[in-house]
Amino acid sequence: MGHDKLRKFAENETFACLLQPSAEELLRDGYFALRDHEVKGHWGERFADPAAPLVLELGCGKGEYTIDLAQRDPSKNYVGVDIKGARLWKGAKYATQHALGNVGFLRTRIEFISAFFAPGEVSEIWLTFSDPQVKSENSRLTSPVFLERYARFLAPGGLIHLKTDSQFLYQYTLAVCRANNLPVLAASEDLYAEADRFAPALTEVQTFYESMFRDQGYPIRYLCFRIDSKESFVSPEDFDSDYWRSVEGHRTLFGRDTAETRRQKLKGR
């Protein structure tokens, strides 16, 4: 491991805004019986305004989107979630240096997310440029498997926002909403071409990958839907995965122009 990563990991231990729980402790009773973390139900205590609504960004990378949203809207508390400590370091350091009282970060795997948030504790979820996982439905962050996790802690009428360059993931998520009668509140296949329909923050706040794919000419898609109380979700029967995989197209990432490179690189964003 490089010295720079070791330095970041050491500094991460000093950031009060960054929670780094032990996966071993969560898994002590097995993968399907996760132990609840002590922060569950107590997130408000970590922020300047404990009563403010709580918003998550899942797969936040370096945290730039989480921080930008939080600075624009101090009436809400924001938590960025990612497994990569070296990347979370940047967001946690910025939040610490700028004394942002409505920003927090959680280092964990997203499949463990229900161990950290209590029923009704979260008002919104942002999924920003998640890996579309074209070969594994259960790994998609808008799949029934993950929606069931989110439903455990989203407040009634809780919102999920999806921003993606992936036509595959966008169409799949629409199909999931249809199959489960989830209300779609907003949808666009080209967010920037229809910017006047949406709040300015949707186009003014961009992730690293969002800027990269826009520069390559790919439209950015946006979807906002609501999850009401529901215990189980079903997979869409009308989604043609082979077709949407075939039209997904290639992206240039780090000098290589293959879809597989894109999938592998974005897994660790």
76 vs 74: CA distance, rounded Å: 5
Q: Looking at residue 5, what is its pLDDT?
A: 86
In angstroms, the CA 230 to CA 113 distance is 17
Q: Which helix (H) or strand (E) holds 222?
A: strand 221-227
Q: CATH homologous superfamily of domain 3-267?
A: Vaccinia Virus protein VP39 (3.40.50.150)
Q: What is the pLDDT of residue 188?
A: 98
The torsion region of residue 63 among left (phi > 0), alpha (psi -120 to 50) and beta comes to left
The answer, yes or no, to whether residue 261 has pLDDT greater than 70, is: no
**156: three-class secondary structure by DSSP:** strand
Confidence of residue 127 (pLDDT cuts 50, 70, 90): very high
In this model, does residue 267 exceed pLDDT 50?
A: no
Give the C-alpha separation, 133 to 128, whole Å. 14
Give the H or E element holding residue 178: helix 167-179
Per-residue pLDDT band for 254 (boundaries 50, 70, 90) equals: low
Q: Are strands 77-82 and 103-107 parallel, antiparallel or unpaired?
A: parallel
- Which residues in the chain belong to E strands, given as ranges? 18-19, 54-58, 77-82, 103-107, 122-128, 154-164, 184-188, 221-227
Rounded Cα distance between 16 and 39, Å, is 13
Q: Among residues 29, 49, 68, 131, which one is catalytic?
A: 131
Which residue from 200, 219, 140 is spatially nearest to 173, judged by alpha carbons? Answer: 140
CB-side neighbour CA atoms (13 Å) of 256: 9
Contact 167, 247 (CB under 8 A): yes
Report pLDDT for 269.
Answer: 44
Cβ–Cβ under 8 Å, residues 34 and 27: yes
3-state secondary structure of 8: helix
pLDDT per position as a tens digit, 179-226? 999 999 999 999 999 999 999 989 999 998 899 889 888 999 999 999
- How does pLDDT run across 7-38, given as a tens digit for each residue? 999 999 999 999 999 999 999 999 888 999 99
Torsion of CA 26, 33, 124, 87, to 10 degrees: 30
Residue 256 has pLDDT above 70, yes or no: no
Residue 255 has what pLDDT?
A: 59
Domain boundaries, the chain: 3-267
Chain segment 141-166, per-residue pLDDT in tens: 999 999 999 999 999 999 999 999 99
The token pair that represents 156 in the structure block: 């009634």
What integer pLDDT is reported at residue 163 of this predicted model?
97
- pLDDT surpasses 90 at 129: yes
Residue 262 has pLDDT above 70, yes or no: no
Dihedral, 34, 225, 44, 145 alpha carbons, nearest 10: 0
pLDDT in tens, 50-106: 999 999 999 999 999 999 999 999 999 999 999 999 999 999 999 999 999 999 999
Please, what is the angle between helix 64-72 and helix 85-97, to 10°? 30
Report d(CA 40, CA 32) in Å as an integer: 18
Phi (first) and psi of residue 227, to 5 degrees: -110, 115
115: phi then psi, degrees, rounded to nearest 5: -80, -5
Whether 257 sits among the annotated catalytic residues: the reply is no
> In terms of pLDDT, which residue wins out, 50 or 253?
50
